[in-house]
Homo-oligomer: A and B are copies of this chain.
Amino acid sequence: MKMGTVVRTLPRSSPAQLQELSAAGVATVHEAMGRTGLMNHYMRPIYAGTRIAGNAVTVLVHPGDNWMIHVAVEFCKPGDVLLVAVSAENYDGMFGDLLATSLRSKGVAALVIDAGVRDVADLREMQFPVWSRCISGKGTIKATLGCVNTPVICAGTYVSAGDVIVADDDGVVVVPYSNVEATLIAVRQRLAKESSKRDRLASGELGLDIENMRPALERLGLTYYETLEEAQLS
C-alpha cells in the first residue's frame, strides 16, 4: 500500500462478541483458531492484570517517527484498540500520556505497539492498558508518512483494520474480522471441555488417563524404570 494512505472506516464487532473474546483470553482464543494469530512473545503489558478485546485501528509508522499515530486518533471509536506497526525493528518511546489522554477521550480501550512507550507511571495511574515491545523514554519526530487502517504486520502477525485484538497477561492475539463468529464457537467448545477437565484434574485424576494417552506413549516405546540405575543398565 502506498505510504500516505489513510482509510477512514473499518468494520466493528458487537460489544457482546468483544466481551466474550476478552473473557476467553489469549491462550484460549489462539487455540480456538488452530494455534494461529499470536503476536511474538516480546509483546508484554506495561502493568499486569488487564484483559481487553477491541477492533483494530491500524497504523504503520517508520522507526523514530510517530506522526501517523496522531493522524489515526481521528478515526478511533469507543472500544477500539489502536494498533501500531513499524516498518523496521524499533525501540523508541512513540507513545505517552498525552496521546493516551487523547485516545481516552475517544473511548479507546487499549494500545498495542511494536515499539516502545513512555510515561508508563502515568499510563498505569490512568489505567490505560498498553502492550508493547519495550518501555523507553526516547522521543520521536513527526516527519514521514505512513498509513492508517491498511493491513500491517505487527509483531509477527498480519492485522487488517477491524480485526479483533485480544490481549491479556499472556500477550496478544489477532482474530480476523470475518473469523470472529467461528472463533467464538470454537472458544465455547474449548471452554466447556476444559471446565470439566479442570474438575477432574483438581480431584487428582491424571491428564494421561483423562485423555487416554498411555497406549500411544507405549506404542512409541515409553519405558518405565523404578530407578535411574535400572534405566542405565537396560
Contact = CB atoms under 8 A, between A and B. Distances in A.
Interface of A: 1-9, 25-27, 30-31, 34-36, 38, 40-41, 44, 47-49, 51, 62-65, 67, 70-71, 73-74, 87-93, 96-99, 101-102, 104-106, 116, 118-121, 124, 134-139, 141-145, 149-151, 153, 156-158, 160-161, 168-171, 173, 194, 197-198, 201-204, 206-208, 211, 213, 217, 220-228, 230-232
Contacts of A93: 27, 41, 170
Number of chain copies forming the complex: 6
A173 to B, nearest CB: 6
B70 A135 contact: no
B220 A48 contact: no
The 7 nearest A-B residue pairs measured at CB: A143-B143, A63-B64, A41-B136, A102-B201, A137-B170, A64-B64, A27-B118
20 contacts: A6-B224, A8-B226, A35-B87, A41-B89, A63-B63, A67-B213, A71-B217, A74-B208, A97-B198, A102-B202, A102-B207, A105-B201, A106-B204, A135-B170, A145-B222, A149-B228, A151-B228, A153-B157, A158-B158, A161-B228
Contacts of A231: 1, 5, 7, 150
Nearest to A171: B137
Contact of A30 (B48, B89, B137, B160): B137
A38 B26 CA distance: 29
A230 B197 CA distance: 38
B98 A223 contact: no
A101 to B, nearest CB: 5
A44 B46 CA distance: 12
Contacts of A44: 135
Contact of A120 (B36, B170, B227): B170
Contact of A169 (B135, B145, B197, B228): B135
A197 B101 CA distance: 10
A49 to B, nearest CB: 7
Given A99-B207, A208-B74, A170 B1 contact: no
Given A105-B201, A158-B153, A139 B27 contact: yes
Contacts of A207: 70, 73, 98-99, 102
